[in-house]
Structure 1
Amino acid sequence: MQSGRNEIDDMIVHEKMQVALEYQNEAWADGRADGIEPEIIADAAIVFAMRETIRLHGEQGAEAMLESLRDRMLAGEFSPERIIQ
């Protein structure tokens, strides 16, 4: 039964991630519509995310998140050319 609960939890997290990404897309579009350059929007988003991560998980937790993101980036997960099958 534990594996069923983990699958449901994973589905819930995935759904929340999709909604959060939609919110981020809307904020990005609003910033661009107001004339803010993409580099500035990206920097502000990263700064906010790091502050919140440090607040919630401390500096070691933030460092672990950055290492994970680095590995995912190098694996091509965030590449706009990535094809999801």
Structure 2
Amino acid sequence: MQQRISDIDALVREEKRLTAVECHNEAWAEGLSAGIESDIIAEAALATACGEILRRSGEAAALGLLERMREKVIAGEFEPVRLRH
């Protein structure tokens, strides 16, 4: 029973994540269409995220988020997908 609840929680969390990504993509597109450069949009998004995590969970959580993002950058997770022919 506990495994089933855990699976459901994971599915709900993933659905929320996908919805958040969709919302952010729409906001990003709106910013670009308003003439805002992508680096300005990105910095504003990161500042908003860090500020919210800091406010809700404290400095350690905000620094943890930044470290996880740093590790993902180093691992190449944000590199564009390239198709091989």
1:67 partner amino acid: E
* Displacement of 1:36: 0.3
* RMSD value, Cα: 1.5
Aligned partners of 1:76 and 1:82 also within 8 Å: no
Write out per-residue CA displacement over residues 53-80 of structure 1, whole angstroms, 9 at most, x where no aligned residue: 1001101111111122222232232222
CA distance in structure 2 between the partners assigned to 1:53 and 1:82 by the alignment:
33
* Displacement of 1:48: 0.5
Q: Which residue of 2 aligns with 1:61?
A: 61
What TM-score, normalized to structure 1?
Answer: 0.88
CA distance in structure 2 between the partners assigned to 1:48 and 1:16 by the alignment:
18
Number of residues paired by the alignment? 83
What TM-score, normalized to structure 2?
Answer: 0.88
Structure 1 residue ranges without an equivalent (≥5): none
CA distance in structure 2 between the partners assigned to 1:82 and 1:6 by the alignment:
35
